Amino acid sequence: MIKDLPNTTVSKVSKELVQIREEGGAVALGRVLTLLIQTDFKDLEEAILAANEASRAHPCRIIVLANDDKASKRPKLDAEIRVGGDAGASEVIVLKAYGEAASDAESLVTGLLLPDAPVVAWWPGTAPEKPSASAIGRIAQRRITDAAAQKDPHSWLSNLAKNYAPGDSDFAWTRLTLWRAQLAAILDQPPYDPVTGVIVTGAVNSPSTDLLAAWLELKLKVEVQLVRTVRGEAVAGINGVKLIRKSGDIEIIRNIPDVATLTQPGQPTRDINLPRRSPRDCLIEDLRRLDSDDAFGKLITKGFGTNRKTPKVSKKIK
């Protein structure tokens, strides 16, 4: 069910939510958190779809704030309340703010938060320069951004390193979970001779490639060469990793979506599952923990901080 509330106020939205709950039996019991989403009108439905799917694993109240301070000079707030089949395992409140009504995001959402429940903020598109100091970020325990959605993903990571606060996380890091697990599993197998060099290959606009290179450099204490595919790359994101060892190189190459080829000395070449993760997959993983992601914090501040040693970068045309 979708209830439209045109030209309304936050107080009226709150009262309508209570009435819907009383009449239809929709309750907030079992909701484990409030998910705040700040986006633009264009990407509104895509963000809601991902959040609805994630809510089946993490039942929550979803509050979507879509700002459009240029679309109308007259301040106005339109709202929707979605429950039941239109809201996954959550209840969704959509706030469309126009003109000056969009200027105070914190006051628009504060009265709609679940009482005594953690708050997670997510920017699926353009994110504030310092998430923890933004209107939405100030009231959230966790703040989720996506470097790949920014105009300059590589500069965004450097900026996040300077402005990082515990509780910040980014989908560019979450997309690496399968890669990190696969590489760790490989290195846990004999022979255990050290890695002497690493080559990471990825699309020119892939921030996950930057993070993977920085993570391997921190973990293995070796120089990492970063190779960017500048045009015609077969796969977006990370294309491959080569670990150089005396006993023979280990190489993972992903030339087609979702499947990579693993080559190891003394073993047959085999295919492994390495899909590019969707916003739904990333959101489900990030909502599993409401405390600070210390591994990401260490990586972003040490791998991209002011004392960062810039990896060797070359370009490859495929």
What is the structure's pLDDT at 1?
83
Q: Is-contact 22 58, C-beta < 8 A?
A: no
What is the structure's pLDDT at 89?
65
What is the structure's pLDDT at 236?
79
DSSP string, 45-57: HHHHHHHHHHHTT
What is the structure's pLDDT at 261?
96
What is the structure's pLDDT at 18?
86
What radius of gyration, in Å, describes the C-alpha atoms of the chain? 22
Average pLDDT along the chain, 318 residues, taken 10 residues at a time? 92 91 62 92 93 91 84 81 76 91 90 94 96 96 97 93 96 96 93 94 93 95 90 73 96 92 94 93 94 94 66 55
Domain ranges of the chain: 2-170, 177-278+311-316
Across the strands, what pairs with 3?
Answer: 81
Q: How far apart are CA 296 and CA 66, in angstroms?
A: 28
Q: How would you class 78 by CB atoms within 10 Å of its CB: exposed for 0-12, middle for 13-18, buried for 19 or more? A: middle
Q: How far apart are CA 276 and CA 261, in angstroms?
A: 15
Across the strands, what pairs with 229?
Answer: 203, 316
Q: How far apart are CA 259 and CA 57, in angstroms?
A: 26
DSSP string, 162-212: HH--TTEEEHHHHTTHHHHHHHHHHHTSSP-PPP-EEEEEEETT-HHHHHH
What is the structure's pLDDT at 233?
47
Q: How far apart are CA 67 and CA 7, in angstroms?
A: 14
Q: Is-contact 140 55, C-beta < 8 A?
A: no
